[in-house]
Amino acid sequence: MIIRTKNDLEKIREKGLKSLYPGATKISVGMATCGLSTGAGKVYEAIQKEIEKAKVRILLGQTGCIGFCQREPVVDILEPGKPRVFYQGVTSERSGELVQKWLENKVVEDLLFCKMEKEDRVLEGSVKNYSIQRIPAGINGTPHYHQVPFYSKQLKIALRNCGFINPDHIDEYIARGGYFSLYRALFEMKPEEIIGEVKRSGLRGRGGAGFPTGNKWDSCRKAKGDRKFILCNADEGDPGAYMDRSILEGDPHSVIEGMIIGAYAIGAQEGFIYVRDEYPLAIQKLKIAIRQAEEAGLLGENIFGSGFSLKINLFRGGGAFVCGESTALMASIEGKVGEPRAKHIHTTESGLWDKPSNLNNVETWNNIPVIVSRGADWYSKIGTQGSKGTKVFSIVGKVKNTGLIEVPMGATLREIVYDIGGGVPDGKKFKAVQTGGPSGGCIPESLIDMPVDYDQLTQVGSMMGSGGMIVMDESTCMVDIAKYFMNFLKSESCGKCTSCREGTKRMHEILTEITEGRGTTDHIDLLKELGWVTAEASLCQLGATAPNPVLSTLRYFQDEYEEHIINKRCPAKVCRALLRYRILSDVCKRCGKCIKVCPAGAITGKAKTKKESGKPFKIGTEKCTRCGMCFEACKFKAIEVE
Amino acid sequence: MEASKIDRIVRQYGARESAILAILQDIQAEEKYLPRETLEYVSQKMRIPMVHVFRIATFYNALSLKPRGRHKIDVCLGTACHVRGGDKILDKLERDLGISVGETTKDKRFTLESVHCVGCCSLGPVAVIDGDVHGRLSQEKVPGLLKDFK
Amino acid sequence: MIPFSIDGQAVEGKEGGNVLQVALDAGIDIPHLCFSESVKPYGACRLCLVEVVKGGKSKMTTSCTYPATEGIQVLTQTEKVIRARRMIIELILAMCPGDKLIQDMAKEMGVNGVRFKQDDKDCILCGLCGRVCEEIVGANAIQFAFRGDRREMIPPFQGEALSCIACGACVIVCPVDVIRMKEEKDERTIVRWKRTLKMKQCKVCGNYFAPWFQLEKFKEQAKLSKDFFDVCYTCRT
């Protein structure tokens, strides 16, 4: 049906509510990429079979990611009159049990991870309480969703719908308040008022540098031109960050709604979503969502019957980090290579095909409907002085609870890494957090109580970037990390500017020398000088921020560099050329496993049998390639690295 | 690739210059790489100089000028996978397959490539085989991973 | 005309002009490699860096891509600019240690050695040849390929440049003189692009004056008569 009036929207909302809360038991499987790659597809099938077997009316659906990726696949069961329950680490073998027990009014206790009795409705500013009449046996000891340490400090605005709606159902999006902001924007607000609201909200771009969104919109609206474009950067390029993928897979309409509101405010008639080719599921979900919005009359010609029209095109990126740079992204859409150009005239005045163009990233667009609905006053109360609202972070690496989290700006690193992330696993010592992707830096333990916002991160030599947080422990080598990023950047630089192409290449070369034991004390100053020139002399932001991984590790971990250079030691035991593997003869059980796995034939000795005691095991240093296979394979921890 | 097939792909995008990347991606999806003759045909058909087609084909990671094997393994070398030993997974695959990253096995069974992050950072180290993500890998798990591919 | 200053000297730029061109016209030397007034500014070599003071704020930028702007102060010899240029010329020298021009420029800037491993390339990746071939000649025979530190200026597929008309414009424009042209009897070769074309003989003087392929292309483009190029330029005028 084509939605023309608010009444029409309300009708769809009613329909969506029936789909969200169907009056029968509903099982939802988290089927975003993280879930699928841990077997959510098989879990879905197994549950489906069990439901058929049980011959009871149980609805089965799919949803996006609820953020706790470590514990995927996640399944939730919602039955009227009962608390909603969430299971973690579900396997296809155990899926049947989930259904059987539920029908007996019981739960599978060892897989249960939380229960929920109320749901936050961010867009509407309300809470939906489930009416609880029956409590399944065995559920009492389970914490509430809001009590689980992973969730208790989170505030979900951007991730408001992820894991709670079926992304393929526009009705469910509308049922949770979706497209009401668009209605409000089109019929109750003037474009200038919307821009004013976005300005007052304090929203800053979530893609990297944190430019104030309202100001960008304002300059694009004021730019001369009868044809204007809005663009969505969904080319999430920072390795270690995947919030945009999760939003697109779990709540694609939130981005589309944000873009339509933005286009109306700016006066644009056409939009592009530049999405990473490596995200096939996100592309699929976006295609479905765009088609549904068009069919509903919420996108395309004469939206809501208001006379305003917008066409949104999907553009698959080609896999180039530099296309995160606005001018490169636009060149790419024009059918050229993604090479940035000088921006003495802003893209808001002359961007895509030299027309005024406004580019924001996925998370920025996704925040817009909330700001329109709840107002700038509400939004700007969240966060810090200079950074308003919440930020989604992917907390990954050497941390117990990996996943996607959303906290108010200003949450401290300690809260993120320890309270939410659960700290470093395996009893190891925390060393640093890397933020901001290849443009960012490593923040040491001494700054763990630092509140996280745009300005603080920049001040300590890193940056917000798109929100990747890679936790590093004592077994992460900071010189190796710097080398890793220079390797990334030297191949991802477009190669146009001498300073960026040659600068990153030479920094990588020097870091390789250091990690292979050929470093000299002059190298540290040379790295600093190269870093300076790369940042100062290059055209675009890729070059301007490229040395950050080197400069920030030099700033906080120069002792680690010196250990490599002077003592030819890698304290984290990562840099292979500086390692020696050794078998501890008193621990070794002479089982022979290491000989079997060693690809270089570097290990000598004879395995113990019932008759013979075997011969002592040794690793020949010349033949050893330090691949670490023996170390991984030894069950007795008889292999030492030094 | 047959001319009629290329024509169909080009037509779908209305032969617009801005669609060149999408057209090359679609061709690659079918051929697994971009054969020289196909690129030359596209250049003529779309009236885009060959130097520009070649420049685009060599600029983007998603495009390849080299033929690929029946199965494509992408080892993720994103930061999260790197700190959890993604490079060791790549080493192990290189050793087991007897090829270097970017190459194809002689029997055309596998092409081994590396990618910068597939966005499954919480499951690292990760490898993607024919589009399916395999997470929480270790060197020991590698042989088991490959055995079902013919 | 747009008035501004370079190193305190009052200058005037044309609408749409760039700072580097204004400086060169005024006799102020700013080192540069990838700039030529015959093609659009590109900003690849980064040697023409200057500091631009505008509205009280100063930033370092390439003068070739910076538009002539009323009231700006351009500074070409600040400590920052000199420091950056020296590192950049050192980086180029490490990449192309055999290029005479680069050696001379480095020496002039006080860079006497290279602190990096030396590559054995000769092309400095300024892109002038590709831009001239596209913007002026319209042959589109060569262009950049690949990305990052693998970037190269080559014909498609690295083989013979099949669209090359052997006009030699790239030979003339190359600042480090690494594109060579060879003429032997009735053949002209652009060595770097592996392109050899047969030359046409002038009906009047008998000299081989231009490649057949090129003349045919010009005739087609400009819709000239069939016998238009039977006589060479010199004999015709």
- Please state, as a whole number, how many other Cβ atoms lie within 10 Å of the Cβ of residue A191: 18
pLDDT category at C84 given cuts 50, 70, 90 is very high
Q: What percent of chain B has pLDDT over 70?
A: 100
- Could you tell me the domains of chain A? 14-145 (3.40.30.10), 179-379 (3.40.50.11540), 390-473 (3.10.20.600), 478-566 (1.20.1440.230), 580-641 (3.30.70.20)
Of residues C60, C66, C149, nearest to A537 (C-beta): C60
Give the C-alpha separation, C22 to C210, whole Å: 36
Give the C-alpha separation, C157 to B50, whole Å: 10
Render pLDDT for A333-372 as a digit per residue (tens, 0 to 9).
999 999 999 888 899 999 999 999 999 999 999 999 999 9
Mean of pLDDT values over B130-140? 91
DSSP 8-class letter at C33: S
| pLDDT the model gives residue A614 | 82
Q: What percent of chain A has pLDDT over 70?
A: 100
Is A279–B119 a contact, with Cβ atoms under 8 angstroms apart? yes
DSSP 8-class letter at C133: I
**Where are chain C's structural domains?**
2-108, 128-236
Closest-CA residue of C relative to A498 is C45
What contacts A531, CB < 8 A, 6 or more positions away?
A503, A507, A547, A550, A551, A554
B98 interface with A at CB cutoff 8 Å: no
Is A318–B63 a contact, with Cβ atoms under 8 angstroms apart? yes
- Chain B residues within an 8 Å CB radius of A335: 16-21, 48, 56
Give Rg (Cα) of chain C: 21
**Do the beta carbons of residue A213 and residue A204 sit within 8 Å?**
yes
Query: In chain A, positions 48-67, which contact chain C (CB-CB < 8 Å)?
Result: none
Secondary structure of residue C58 in the 3-state scheme: strand
Render pLDDT for B52-99 as a digit per residue (tens, 0 to 9).
999 999 999 999 999 999 999 999 999 999 999 999 999 999 999 999
Q: Which residue type does A250 have? A: G
Through-space distance between the first and last CA atoms of chain C, rounded to whole angstroms: 38
- Chain C residues within an 8 Å CB radius of B35: none
Mean of pLDDT values over B117-143? 91
Calculate the CA A430 to chain-centre distance: 21
Give Rg (Cα) of chain A: 27
Render pLDDT for C129-149 as a digit per residue (tens, 0 to 9).
999 999 999 999 999 999 999
Mutate to test the interface with B, among C133, C135, C144, C164 (most CBs of B within 10 A): C144
**Do the beta carbons of residue A35 and residue A74 sit within 8 Å?**
yes
Of residues C143, C162, C163, nearest to B55 (C-beta): C143
Q: What does pLDDT average to over chain B?
A: 93
- Chain A residues within an 8 Å CB radius of C130: none
Render pLDDT for C113-125 as a digit per residue (tens, 0 to 9).
999 999 999 999 9
Tokens encoding A155: 């505030």
Of residues C141, C145, C162, nearest to B55 (C-beta): C145
Tokens encoding A240: 């270690």
From residue C121, give the alpha-carbon distance in Å to each of A23, A289, C152: 72, 51, 10
Mean of pLDDT values over A298-313? 96
Tokens encoding B36: 């020289």
Is B119–A277 a contact, with Cβ atoms under 8 angstroms apart? no
Calculate the CA A265 to chain-centre distance: 28
**Do the beta carbons of residue C197 and residue C181 sit within 8 Å?**
no
Of residues C143, C146, C147, nearest to B51 (C-beta): C143
Is C46–A493 a contact, with Cβ atoms under 8 angstroms apart? no
Q: Which of A231-240, A409-418, C126-135 has the lowest mean pLDDT?
A: A231-240
**Do the beta carbons of residue B96 and residue B143 sit within 8 Å?**
yes
- Chain A residues within an 8 Å CB radius of B16: 335
pLDDT at A26 over 90: yes
Report angle CA C40, C43, C45 to the nearest 5 degrees: 125
**Do the beta carbons of residue A92 and residue A46 sit within 8 Å?**
yes
Q: C176-185 long-range CB contacts below 8 Å, 24 or more apart?
A: C176/C33, C176/C96, C176/C99, C176/C100, C176/C101, C176/C102, C176/C122, C176/C123, C176/C124, C177/C100, C177/C101, C178/C99, C178/C122, C178/C123, C179/C129, C183/C208
List helix spans (H) across A69-122: 92-103
| pLDDT the model gives residue A454 | 96
Q: Which helix (H) or strand (E) holds C161?
A: none
Tokens encoding A452: 């996280």
Q: Give me the count of residues in chain A.
A: 642
Render pLDDT for A52-78 as a digit per residue (tens, 0 to 9).
999 999 999 999 999 998 899 999 999
Q: Which of A108-112, A340-344, A501-505, C75-79 has the lowest mean pLDDT?
A: A340-344
Q: Tell me how close the Cα of A570 comes to any Cα of chain C, in angstroms.
A: 23
| pLDDT the model gives residue C198 | 95
pLDDT at A434 over 80: yes
pLDDT category at C76 given cuts 50, 70, 90 is very high
DSSP characters for A447-501?
Answer: GTT-B-SHHHHHHTT---TT-EEEEEETTS-HHHHHHHHHHHHHHHS-S-SHHHH
Render pLDDT for C163-197 as a digit per residue (tens, 0 to 9).
999 999 999 999 999 999 999 989 999 999 999 99
Give the C-alpha separation, A209 to A463, whole Å: 8
Q: Which of A188-192, A340-344, A385-389 has the lowest mean pLDDT?
A: A340-344
**Do the beta carbons of residue A26 and residue A58 sit within 8 Å?**
yes
Mean of pLDDT values over A293-305? 96
Render pLDDT for A249-264 as a digit per residue (tens, 0 to 9).
999 999 999 999 999 9
- Could you tell me the domains of chain B? 3-59 (no CATH), 71-146 (3.40.30.10)
Render pLDDT for B33-55 as a digit per residue (tens, 0 to 9).
999 999 999 999 999 999 999 99
Through-space distance between the first and last CA atoms of chain B, rounded to whole angstroms: 24
Give the C-alpha separation, A194 to A263, whole Å: 11
**Do the beta carbons of residue A593 and residue A629 sit within 8 Å?**
no
Strand partners, C18: C67
Of A146-150, A190-194, B133-137, C228-232, which one has max mean pLDDT?
A190-194
CB pairs under 8 A between B and C: 35
Tokens encoding A108: 């599978």
Those chains having 3 or more beta-carbon pairs within 8 angstroms of chain B are: A, C
Give the C-alpha separation, A461 to A441, whole Å: 6
**Do the beta carbons of residue A384 and residue A410 sit within 8 Å?**
yes
Give the C-alpha separation, A267 to A269, whole Å: 7
| pLDDT the model gives residue B14 | 83
pLDDT at B15 over 80: no
Give the C-alpha separation, A216 to A360, whole Å: 9
Q: Tell me how close the Cα of B50 comes to any Cα of chain C, in angstroms.
A: 7
**Do the beta carbons of residue A262 and residue A217 sit within 8 Å?**
yes
What contacts A312, CB < 8 A, 6 or more positions away?
A256, A259, A260, A270, A271, A272, A273, A290, A299
Mean of pLDDT values over A496-509? 98
Is C95–A509 a contact, with Cβ atoms under 8 angstroms apart? no
Mutate to test the interface with B, among C131, C132, C147 (most CBs of B within 10 A): C147
pLDDT category at A321 given cuts 50, 70, 90 is very high
What contacts C107, CB < 8 A, 6 or more positions away?
none
- Chain C residues within an 8 Å CB radius of A495: 125, 144, 146-151
Query: In chain A, positions 204-223, which contact chain B (CB-CB < 8 Å)?
Result: none
What contacts A544, CB < 8 A, 6 or more positions away?
A535, A536, A538
- Chain B residues within an 8 Å CB radius of C163: 49-51
A552 interface with B at CB cutoff 8 Å: no
Is A342–C148 a contact, with Cβ atoms under 8 angstroms apart? no
- Chain B residues within an 8 Å CB radius of C147: 58-59
Render pLDDT for A76-103 as a digit per residue (tens, 0 to 9).
999 999 999 999 999 999 999 999 999 9
Is A498–C43 a contact, with Cβ atoms under 8 angstroms apart? no
What is the strand order of the sheet C73-75 is part of? Answer: C9-13, C2-6, C73-75, C49-54, C57-62
| pLDDT the model gives residue A152 | 93
Q: Tell me how close the Cα of B46 comes to any Cα of chain C, in angstroms.
A: 15
- Please state, as a whole number, how many other Cβ atoms lie within 10 Å of the Cβ of residue A238: 28
Tally of CA atoms within 13 A in the half-sphere of C95 that contains its CB: 25
Q: Report the 3 state secondary structure along A368-409.
A: HHHHHHHCHHHHHCCECCCCECEEEEEEEECCCCCEEEEEEC
Q: Which class is C2-108 in CATH?
A: alpha beta
pLDDT category at A6 given cuts 50, 70, 90 is very high
Mean of pLDDT values over A555-562? 97
Q: Which residue type does A70 have? A: Q
Give the C-alpha separation, C132 to C146, whole Å: 20
| pLDDT the model gives residue A102 | 95
| pLDDT the model gives residue C179 | 98
Closest-CA residue of B relative to A33 is B120
A31 interface with B at CB cutoff 8 Å: no
Mutate to test the interface with B, among A69, A242, A624 (most CBs of B within 10 A): A242
| pLDDT the model gives residue A36 | 92
